[in-house]
Each structure stands twice: as C-alpha cells, then as structure tokens.
C-alpha cells in the first residue's frame, strides 16, 4: 500500500549508510485545526499524493502512516487526523497527549481559523508533551497565489485574510515551524514533514519506541478515556 512508498529528502547518500541498515524512527504526529481548513487533504497529499475537491468532513479521527527518509534516517509518521469542529474537542486530547509532533493548520483565507490555531498552540503548550515539535501551517495558498504573482486586480478584495507575517510572527513567538502550503497544488507539503523530521529530538523518539515495547506507535492507554475532558479551548 501507499504507506510503503518512500519520499527522499536527502539526495546525498554516502556509501556507509548504504551498507548499514538505516534505523527507523516512529514519530507520532497529530493534525489539529478548524473544520475544513484542509487537514485531511494535507495528509492525503503526503500519504497518497492525491487531492479531492470535496473531501469528506472527518468524523472522530482517522489514522494513517507514511514513511520517508530524512538525513539517512527512515521516519515512519503515524498520523492522527482529527475532526476540526469544536464539538469534537473532547476527543482530541487522547490523540495529542503522547504525540511527538503536531501540525496546526489554518486556512489563510479564513481569519477565524487563525484564531482557532492560536487556541490550539496554547492548548498544546499547556497539555501536550513538553518537547513536542509543532508546525504551524497556513493552507490553501493556491487560492491567493495568482493575485500575489502580479495578476491581481488592485480593486478586488484579496482572498488572503491572514498575512504571511502574521503567521510567521505567531510561529516565532511560540517557537513553531512555519509554512504556507497548498494541498491542492502540492506546495510545501513535503517540506512540512521534512522540517518536522529534522527538528524532532532523535534520541527521545527512540527512547519512547523502546518504552512502548511493541511495534506499532500508539496512543497510551489512560483508564478513563471515555470520559469527556473539559476542553481548554472554549471560553
């Protein structure tokens, strides 16, 4: 299946690494962000290099995996794609609680989704792993690409509602990776995952694999997972 396909980011391979078995690292990654910003589309592009105009709303959460080679290391991403609607917030903690990486997605044409992204950053800082690697991603870049590359009509109101600087500032303030992407045109998608793979603390992820003791990366069991957790995001 598609999860076997490998994407290579490092073109230079030395002979040594060809002879030695390349270590595989599992990275638990969770996608968060408002409904319809393109979380599932982002994953679909990364995992299957595909795009659907009318992607179904995610109900609950979906699990996908994808391997890629980053700096002579195979990283197996174990991805939880969550449902974006506020209502599903009580399910989210169990997916981000033990995640090593998170992608917080907003839609650069929807200001409300950027506000929601701020909430997620806050919640993750408060509730998730202390050394979680977070990437902030402004999606649907294709919608503003044309107007920004000169063809824009001065009088027409721009579709872009969140500027690149706003995103970058938030990312800098909070120590996040930052990208503007398009799942539709495959703009910057691989870059996001490569950057996460490069930034993630390596020994830590190995450690957690050993601790897990079983081959699949998984969400740890807390006894009371059915109990809805008060979401921290609603005010």
Partner 1 sequence: MAEPIDSILRVNLNTKPDAINNLKTLSSTYNKDSGNFLLQSKYNQLILNFTQKNPTTKQSLSSGTETIKKTFQTIKNTAGSYEFANEIDWEIWEAIVENYENFVNENTNTLNELISKGIPKEIRGIIWQVAAYSKDLNLEDFYLQLKNETSIHEKAIKRDLTRTSFFTNIDAVNKSDELFNIIKAYSLYDPDVGYTQGMIFIGVPLIMNCNESESFCLLVTLMKDYNLRHLFCPEMQGLHLLLYEFDRLLESYSPILYNHLTKQGIKSSMYASQWFLTFFAYKFPLDIVLRIYDIIITEGMESILKFAINLILKNESNLLNLSFDKLLEFLKDNLFNIYISDEFINTENNKRFSFTKKSSNSYYKLDQLVQDSLDINVDPLDLQKFQNEFNHILEKEEKKGEEITNLQVENGALRKEIKQYEFKFNSINADHLDTVQTMVDLKITLPDLLNENSELKELIEIRNQEIEELEAKIGKDIPTTIEDQIKELLDINAKEVEKSANLEEELQNLLIEEENLKKQLPNHTWFKW
The Cα 6–Cα 126 span in angstroms is 34
Task: Look up residue 162 and give its two tokens.
Answer: 């969140």
**Alpha helix positions (H), 134-220:** 142-146, 164-174, 189-199, 202-212
**Which 54-73 residues touch Mg ion, going by CB under 5 A?**
58
Residue 220 binding: pick among partner 1, Mg ion, ligand GTP, none (C-beta 5-8 Å cut-off by kind): partner 1
For tokens 């921290």, name the residue: 232
Task: Look up residue 5 and give its two tokens.
Answer: 């396909």
Pair 88, 120: CB distance under 8 Å: no
Q: Among residues 166, 232, 199, 213, which one has the least CA distance to residue 70?
A: 199
Q: Among residues 3, 25, 29, which one has the least CA distance to residue 219?
A: 29
**Which 28-57 residues touch Mg ion, going by CB under 5 A?**
39-40
The verdict on 87 binding partner 1 (CB under 8 A) reads yes
- Give me the least distance between CB of 205 and partner 1, in Å please: 17
Nearer CB in complex with ligand GTP: 112/222: 112
**Which 27-66 residues touch partner 1, going by CB under 8 A?**
35-36, 54-57, 59-63, 65
The verdict on 113 binding Mg ion (CB under 5 A) reads no
Q: Which of 64, 136, 162, 183 binds ligand GTP (CB under 6 A)?
A: 183
Interface residues toward partner 1, by CB under 8 A: 3, 35-36, 54-57, 59-63, 65, 78, 83, 85-88, 90-91, 94, 214-221, 224-228, 230, 234
């Amino acid at each position: 299946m598609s999860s076997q396909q490998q994407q290579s980011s490092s073109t230079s391979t030395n002979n040594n690494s060809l002879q030695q078995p390349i270590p595989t690292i599992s990275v638990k990654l969770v996608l968060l962000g408002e409904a319809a910003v393109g979380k599932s589309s982002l994953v679909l592009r990364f995992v299957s290099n595909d795009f659907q105009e009318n992607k179904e709303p995610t109900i609950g959460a979906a699990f996908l995996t994808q391997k890629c080679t980053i700096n002579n290391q195979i990283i197996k991403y174990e991805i939880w794609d969550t449902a974006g609607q506020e209502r599903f917030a009580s399910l989210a903690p169990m997916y981000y609680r033990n995640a090593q990486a998170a992608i917080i997605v907003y839609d650069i044409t929807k200001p409300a989704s950027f506000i929601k992204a701020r909430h997620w950053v806050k919640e993750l800082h408060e509730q998730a792993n202390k050394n979680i690697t977070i990437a902030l991603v402004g999606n649907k870049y294709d919608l503003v690409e044309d107007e920004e590359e000169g063809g824009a009509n001065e009088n027409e109101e721009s579709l872009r509602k969140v500027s690149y600087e706003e995103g970058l500032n938030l990312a800098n303030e909070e120590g996040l990776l930052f990208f503007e992407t398009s799942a539709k045109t495959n703009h910057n998608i691989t870059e996001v995952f490569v950057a996460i793979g490069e930034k993630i603390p390596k020994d830590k992820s190995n450690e957690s694999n050993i601790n897990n003791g079983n081959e699949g990366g998984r969400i740890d069991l807390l006894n009371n997972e059915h109990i809805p957790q008060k979401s921290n995001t609603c005010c």
